């Protein structure tokens, strides 16, 4: 689709072109993002919010401009609801520590799904252990969908928070976040509770592949990483309702998040600076803004249509008789239900061997538990192989992948399978 915009594809591993099918782990960077960061570091590099000289003022304007840009990208209207973090993981830890320590008590329950990435699972697990609360796991259906009946049945008066992935990094399923938000609202009305459970959404795998509107989703907190959105590593976004952020204590303390310090006390800055302790990664934020500009120029309609077409073709090829006999694909069978991820197992061949053999053909995929060990335990496997698409992939990439799978991997499966 836009392969020419990505400098990394000019290289060849050995004599073969790079077929990059690991975008779910990290996306490649378009030239526009690289140039934007280089220009900032070469011409505008300065501390933000403090410097009164020209390049410092320009750096601050650029930095805060990206905050407003990210807010609009998420369908928000208040840039103050955008907190810059290092990644999605830091965002979830921030909420678990800042909100969780102030609100979760012994006997409370925190609901998570079985398909969560560790980033939105372990912080809540540790908080539950610290507070004497209970981590309640919501199951999935046989088709790899979120089990809404199970979720509804596990909601109770003790439910304090619900943490849910928008798009699974293993199953590819896009979960019905807005429908879950409505379930939580009805649950709160039924109990006549003063407040609904906190609803936290992991958008790390959805934000790069589909439009996000936090108001329509109905969540309280949403977090994603810049490097999966064609931006740089080391920068992420936490969106939260302003009143929620204002009520939360800070997570980290130090410079920037302080308004006043004496020998006896400290007064915190306003949101979002209250949660941005220390010098931020200004160049990273500039790169993130450039990545959002890049996606906006292409348009979501084209991006979604392109990736869905690739997904449909890949799923179709996996059903070919000579492949279907030896390869199991996890998750929904319909492309419309998926993001850009396909996890699979080849009979008799370890996922690490699958990835190694494909790498010898210039094809980059992922192998392992993908930071989702509870899900793999539920699937009954220690690891899976995973291919994932970006807007730079095309049908030639699929052709190379399936040719290499047939040539290098399936012979081993045939040899190992009775």
For residues 200 and 163, membership in a common domain is answered with yes
5 pLDDT higher than 70: yes
Last residue within a domain, chosen from 280, 296, 312: 296
Contact 179, 148 (CB under 8 A): yes
For residues 386 and 291, membership in a common domain is answered with no
371 pLDDT higher than 80: yes
For residues 200 and 93, membership in a common domain is answered with yes
Contact 369, 383 (CB under 8 A): yes
Check which CATH number belongs to the domain holding 233 and give it.
3.40.640.10
In a domain, 27, yes or no: no
DSSP state of 385: E
User: So what's the pLDDT on residue 289?
Assistant: 98
User: So what's the pLDDT on residue 122?
Assistant: 98
What is the maximum alpha-carbon separation in the chain?
75
CA distances to 129, 145, 161, 187, 387 from 228, rounded to whole Å, are: 31, 23, 26, 34, 14
> pLDDT, tens digit, for every residue of 20-69?
999 999 999 999 999 999 999 999 999 999 888 999 999 999 999 999 99
User: Residue 191: pLDDT band by 50, 70, 90 thresholds?
Assistant: very high
> pLDDT, tens digit, for every residue of 9-18?
987 656 788 9
User: Residue 328: pLDDT band by 50, 70, 90 thresholds?
Assistant: very high
For residues 249 and 110, membership in a common domain is answered with yes
Distance in angstroms (rounded) separating the CA atoms of residues 254 and 277? 6
Check which CATH number belongs to the domain holding 363 and give it.
3.90.1150.10
115 pLDDT higher than 90: yes
For residues 219 and 338, membership in a common domain is answered with no
303 pLDDT higher than 80: yes
For the beta carbon of residue 397, count every other beta carbon within 10 angstroms: 22
Distance in angstroms (rounded) separating the CA atoms of residues 204 and 165? 8
For residues 77 and 101, membership in a common domain is answered with yes
Mean pLDDT of the chain: 96
For the beta carbon of residue 216, count every other beta carbon within 10 angstroms: 12
Number of domains in the chain: 2
* Helices (H), ranges, 104-247: 122-131, 148-154, 177-191, 214-217, 242-247
Q: Give the distance, in angstroms, between the CA of residue 415 and the centroid of all CA atoms in the same chain.
A: 38
For residues 15 and 72, membership in a common domain is answered with no
Give the strand pairing for 82-85 and 236-240: antiparallel
Distance in angstroms (rounded) separating the CA atoms of residues 325 and 327? 6
150 pLDDT higher than 80: yes
Distance in angstroms (rounded) separating the CA atoms of residues 359 and 231? 24
> pLDDT, tens digit, for every residue of 118-148?
999 999 999 999 999 999 999 999 889 999 9
For residues 292 and 344, membership in a common domain is answered with no
Last residue within a domain, chosen from 296, 317, 344: 296
In a domain, 95, yes or no: yes
> pLDDT, tens digit, for every residue of 217-246?
999 999 999 999 999 999 999 999 999 999
> pLDDT, tens digit, for every residue of 63-97?
999 999 999 999 999 999 999 999 999 999 999 99
Q: CA-based angle 374:224:359, to the nearest 5?
A: 65
* Helices (H), ranges, 155-278: 177-191, 214-217, 242-247
Last residue within a domain, chosen from 262, 296, 330: 296
Distance in angstroms (rounded) separating the CA atoms of residues 112 and 118? 11
User: So what's the pLDDT on residue 255?
Assistant: 86
287 pLDDT higher than 70: yes
Report whether the peptide linkage leading into residue 272 is cis, meaning its omega lies within 30 degrees of zero: yes
Q: Is 39 exposed, middle or buried (0-12, 13-18, 19+ CB in 10 A)?
A: middle
For residues 287 and 326, membership in a common domain is answered with no
User: So what's the pLDDT on residue 27?
Assistant: 98
Distance in angstroms (rounded) separating the CA atoms of residues 340 and 153? 30
Residue 219 is a catalytic residue = no
Q: CA-based angle 159:162:165, to the nearest 5?
A: 160
Residue 208: which domain range?
33-296
Using a pLDDT cut of 70, give the percent of the chain over it: 99
Given the residues 252, 359, 371, 373, the one annotated as active site: 371
In a domain, 26, yes or no: no
Q: Is 142 helix (H, G, I), strand (E, B) or coil?
A: coil
| 302-338 burial code (b ≥16 CB/10 A, e <16) | ebeebbbebbeebbebbeeeebeebbebbbbeebebb
For residues 310 and 258, membership in a common domain is answered with no
1 pLDDT higher than 80: no
């Amino acid at each position: 689709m836009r392969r020419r915009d990505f400098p990394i594809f000019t290289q060849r591993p050995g004599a073969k072109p790079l077929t990059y099918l690991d975008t779910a782990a990290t996306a490649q960077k378009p030239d526009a993002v690289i140039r934007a960061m280089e220009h900032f570091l070469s011409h505008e590099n300065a501390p933000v919010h403090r410097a009164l000289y020209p390049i410092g003022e320009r750096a601050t304007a650029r930095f805060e401009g990206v905050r407003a840009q990210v807010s609009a990208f998420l369908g928000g209207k208040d840039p103050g609801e955008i907190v810059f973090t290092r990644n999605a993981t830091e965002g979830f830890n921030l909420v678990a520590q800042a909100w969780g320590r102030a609100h979760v008590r012994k006997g409370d329950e925190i609901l998570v799904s079985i398909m969560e990435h560790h980033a939105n699972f372990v912080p809540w697990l540790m908080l539950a252990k610290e507070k004497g609360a209970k981590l309640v796991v919501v199951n999935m259906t046989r088709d790899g969908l979120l089990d809404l009946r199970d979720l509804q049945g596990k909601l109770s008066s003790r439910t304090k928070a619900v943490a849910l992935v928008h798009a699974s990094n293993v199953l590819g399923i896009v979960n019905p976040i807005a429908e879950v938000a409505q379930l939580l609202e009805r649950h709160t009305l039924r109990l006549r509770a003063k407040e609904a459970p906190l609803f936290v959404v992991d958008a790390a795998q959805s934000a790069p592949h589909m439009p996000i509107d936090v108001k329509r989703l109905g969540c309280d907190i949403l977090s994603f990483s810049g490097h999966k959105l064609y931006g740089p590593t080391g920068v992420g976004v936490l969106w939260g309702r302003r009143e929620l952020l204002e009520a939360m204590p800070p997570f980290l303390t130090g410079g920037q998040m302080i308004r006043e310090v004496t020998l006896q006390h400290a007064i915190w800055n306003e949101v979002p600076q209250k949660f941005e302790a220390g010098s931020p990664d200004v160049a990273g934020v500039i790169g993130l803004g450039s990545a959002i500009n890049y996606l906006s120029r292409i348009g979501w309609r084209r991006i979604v249509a392109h990736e869905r077409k690739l997904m449909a073709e890949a799923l179709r090829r996996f059903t070919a008789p000579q492949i279907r006999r030896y390869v199991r694909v996890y998750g929904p069978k319909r492309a419309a239900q998926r993001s850009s991820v396909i996890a699979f197992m080849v009979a008799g061949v370890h996922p690490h061997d699958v990835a190694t053999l494909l790498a010898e053909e210039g094809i980059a995929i992922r192998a392992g538990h993908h930071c989702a060990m509870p899900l793999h335990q539920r699937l009954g496997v220690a690891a899976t192989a995973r291919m994932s698409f970006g807007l730079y992939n095309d049908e030639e990439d699929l052709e190379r992948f399936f040719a290499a799978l047939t040539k290098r991997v399936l012979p081993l499966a045939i040899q190992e399978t009775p």
